[in-house]
């Protein structure tokens, strides 16, 4: 099907609507929908939270009787199955929609194409592929989990200009400025879960939570989210040797925590929101690949890795990172300071990890670099 410029405009609007759910829809994908009739937008909506109405339902509710005879522009193929809500394909059919254009088909192999098939069988004209790349960019975690059975892993790293993360004595507060730290809070809030290691929790007494008071100074406030929509990402900590104790600050915030371990710790009285998850060993440590698969089975799409140079290095070494976000401060910390990632010694330049820069942005006085591992043929 040949798409018109008007089609592109309406789908672009649906994509912008979908972005409004980026802090709240987990584990569901971000989806937007626009209903158009006689060249006029008669209804629009986005999916706000799992268990609540999908984008199509919200758009139909806004349009009312005007939905009959309209064209729907949806960023993701309308669902075809009963979950927490009824299938949207049936809802569009009952509302009298005559054409549905989806940016992409559902990546879930169990349901892919079935929503469009339901509509076709009912005589509704369908098409897909309009602004597909932009739609894919809305939900990298959901798509990755559907295709690979693992979450999309973003590794966040902060360093001085000479690649150092802490002084020799361990001091690291603060390498980057307040704007960069606000930006990190924004990213934490958009992820399903935050992963760190026991060393970070113990040595830094880190909480690893979203500090929403810092987000109030960003574009986050434009969404006008209710207090019940604000959530703490699941906090996950790798503790293969059971060194963590309930008295740490990490456990004083009442939000879901998963401890990844090779042996259950039955000696400690963990709070009710703490779950211990058994993961097999690999080379004496937790098998990180298996851990990711287990986390994906718990509907974790986007995993934000904030850890020390050892754990970050291991994820890199095993090619388990999908995206890197570097914050680089205009500081020089010297040779004796701690490095960025701990990787095995390379003896040939062909062995080094190569990245592709996707974005370079000034955040306050610091530089933020978004990069992805370079694809090898």
Catalytic residues: 56
88 a known binding residue?
yes
Cα–Cα distance between 217 and 78 in angstroms, integer? 35
Closest CA to 192 of 145, 239, 147: 145
Whether 240 has a binding-site annotation, put simply, is yes
Question: Any idea what DSSP says for residue 260?
Answer: E
Residue 207 and residue 209: Cα distance in Å, rounded?
5
C-alpha closest to that of 136 among 125, 146, 124, 126: 146
Q: Is 54 annotated as a binding residue?
A: yes
Ligand-binding annotation for 270, yes or no, is no
Q: Are 60 and 46 in contact (CB under 8 A)?
A: no
DSSP character for 147? H
| C-beta separation of 294 from 279 below 8 A | yes
The DSSP line for 193-215 is EEEEEHHHHHHS-------HHHH
Distance CA 356, CA 152 (A): 17
**Radius of gyration of the chain from Cα atoms?**
23
Strands 366-373 and 323-329: antiparallel
13 is in an annotated binding site: no
Give the Cα separation of 92 and 140 in Å (integer).
26
Q: For residue 335, what are its two tokens?
A: 């040779």
Tokens at 13, concatenated: 């609007």
Annotation-wise, does 40 bind a ligand?
no
Is residue 210 within 8 A of residue 233, CB to CB? The reply is: yes
211 among annotated binding-site residues: yes
Ligand-binding site membership of 155 (annotated) = no
What's the rounded Cα separation, in Å, for the pair 113 and 297?
Answer: 23
33 is an annotated ligand-binding site residue: no
Is 263 exposed, middle or buried, given 0-12, 13-18 or 19+ CB atoms closer than 10 A? exposed
Say how many Å lie between the first and final Cα of the chain, rounded: 32
Residue 81 assigned as binding residue: no
Q: Is 198 annotated in some ligand binding site? A: no
Helices 5-19 and 55-63, interaxial angle, to 10°? 110
Residues at the annotated binding site for NADP(+)?
Answer: 158, 174, 200, 204, 240
Residues at the annotated binding site?
Answer: 54, 79, 88, 158, 172, 174, 188, 200, 204, 211, 240, 306
Residues at the annotated binding site for Zn(2+)?
Answer: 54, 79, 88
Residues at the annotated binding site for substrate?
Answer: 172, 188, 211, 306
């Amino acid at each position: 099907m040949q798409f018109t410029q008007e089609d592109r405009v309406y789908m672009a609007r649906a994509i912008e609507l979908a972005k409004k759910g980026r802090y709240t829809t987990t584990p569901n994908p971000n989806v937007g929908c626009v209903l158009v009739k006689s060249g006029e937008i008669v209804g629009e909506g986005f999916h706000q939270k799992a268990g609540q109405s999908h984008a199509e339902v919200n758009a139909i509710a806004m349009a009312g009787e005007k939905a009959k005879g309209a064209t729907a522009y949806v960023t993701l193929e309308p669902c075809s199955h009963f979950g927490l809500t009824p299938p949207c394909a049936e809802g569009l059919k009952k509302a009298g929609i005559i054409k549905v254009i989806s940016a992409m088909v559902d990546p879930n192999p169990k349901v892919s194409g079935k929503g469009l098939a339901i509509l076709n069988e009912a005589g509704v004209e369908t098409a897909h592929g309009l602004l597909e790349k932009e739609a894919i960019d809305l939900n990298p975690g959901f798509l990755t989990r559907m295709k690979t059975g693992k979450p999309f892993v973003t590794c966040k790293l902060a360093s001085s200009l000479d690649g150092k993360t802490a002084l020799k004595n361990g001091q690291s507060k603060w390498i980057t400025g307040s704007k960069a730290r606000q930006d990190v809070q924004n990213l934490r809030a958009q992820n399903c879960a935050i992963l760190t290691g026991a060393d970070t929790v113990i040595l830094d007494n880190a909480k690893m939570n979203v500090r929403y008071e810092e987000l109030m100074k960003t574009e986050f406030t434009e969404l006008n989210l209710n207090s019940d929509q604000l959530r703490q990402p699941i906090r996950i900590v790798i503790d293969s040797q059971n060194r963590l104790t309930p008295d740490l600050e990490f456990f004083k915030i009442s939000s879901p925590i998963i401890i990844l371990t090779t042996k259950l710790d039955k000696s400690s009285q963990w709070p009710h929101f703490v779950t211990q998850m058994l993961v097999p060993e690999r080379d004496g440590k937790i098998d990180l690949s298996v851990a990711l698969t287990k986390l994906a089975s718990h509907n974790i799409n986007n995993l934000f890795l904030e850890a020390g140079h050892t754990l970050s290095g291991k994820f890199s070494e095993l090619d388990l990172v999908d995206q890197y976000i570097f914050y680089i401060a205009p500081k020089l910390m010297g040779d004796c300071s701690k490095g960025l990632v701990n990787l095995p010694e390379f003896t040939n330049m062909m062995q080094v990890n190569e990245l592709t820069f996707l974005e370079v942005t000034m955040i306050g006085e610091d530089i933020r670099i978004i990069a992805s591992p370079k694809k090898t043929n």
